[in-house]
Structure 1
Amino acid sequence: MVRTSPKVLVIGLDPYRVPGPWDPAPIASAIQESTKQFADRGIDVQNCLLGLDGSDDIEAVVTTALQADSWQCVLIGGGIRKEDDQLEIFEQIINLVHQHAPDAAIAFNRTPADIVDAAIRRLP
């Protein structure tokens, strides 16, 4: 029997394309660290990072990522879920996951540091 690695899609905000006076480096570093942690645990991961600077067609970017593979889990990051300003984007992403990856579990993290643990909670 051939075992394949679990596949996780992480949908989040690109910290370098979020307007405002803030330092994107800590979030970018956390994304890089979580990507390494997924690999260390034998989990294939793809990050789908969205800009809030108007440079992305969010529906197209997310749909392309969802259709790129057969995902066991889709994690939607807190930057999308927690801010009232992103409610419509969050709703749009949930519906796209439902449409294009209906068999995937959906996970939510609390902080950038617990992305891997959040996905593992929902992996079979």
Structure 2
Amino acid sequence: MASGPVLVIGLDPVRIPGWDPEPVVAAIARGQARFEAHGIEADLCLVVPDETAEATIVAALAAKDYACVVVGGGIRKHEPLLELFEQVVNLVRRHAPGAAIAFNSTPEDTADAALRWLR
């Protein structure tokens, strides 16, 4: 298993129209606190499903040599975002080929998803 920084790719709850972002923002903060409690560096890459997503993800993947990339459930579980989910997985394969790919269930269990592949 690898050890090192983690990149979390998910939907930006503040920039998605039509729903209350506060519960998701709070859950993301709790998830990030769990990484800190485990002593794991974790960066967030929050995107909107539009033409800016790919460039944002590529820039984040290029920023560090990530040991693991966690793809959030908002991207993975929402069927209309299937194309974005495929794009994310292929961008990780292309731009961070050494990184494990993990999937969370909620923003709060993101550290657990990464820990399955770290250390």
Same fold? TM cut 0.5: yes
Superposition pairs of residues 75-86 of structure 1, within 5 angstroms = 75-86=70-81
Show structure 1 runs of 4+ deviating over 3 A.
none
**Distance in 2, Cα, partners of 1:93 & 1:26:** 24
User: If the length of structure 1 is used for normalisation, what is the TM-score?
Assistant: 0.89
Please list every run of 5 or more consecutive structure 2 residues that lacks an aligned counterpart in the other structure. none
**Distance in 2, Cα, partners of 1:44 & 1:71:** 10
Which residue in the other structure is 1:102 paired with?
A: 97
Q: What letter matches 1:31 in structure 2?
A: I
Mapped pair 1:24 → 2:29: no
Q: Aligned Cα RMSD in Å?
A: 1.3
**Distance in 2, Cα, partners of 1:71 & 1:97:** 10
Q: What letter matches 1:34 in structure 2?
A: G
SS state at 1:16 partner: coil
Q: What letter matches 2:52 in structure 1?
A: D
Give 1:39's match in structure 2, choosing from 31, 36, 39. Answer: 36
**Distance in 2, Cα, partners of 1:59 & 1:67:** 12
Greater relative CO, 1 or 2 (CA 8 Å, sep 6+) = 2
Superposition pairs of residues 69-80 of structure 1, within 5 angstroms = 69-80=64-75
Give 2:52's match in structure 1, choosing from 47, 57, 62. Answer: 57
Shift of 1:118: 0.8
Please list every run of 5 or more consecutive structure 1 residues that lacks an aligned counterpart in the other structure. none
Mapped pair 1:68 → 2:63: yes
Q: Percent identity?
A: 52
Give 2:8's match in structure 1, choosing from 7, 10, 16. Answer: 10
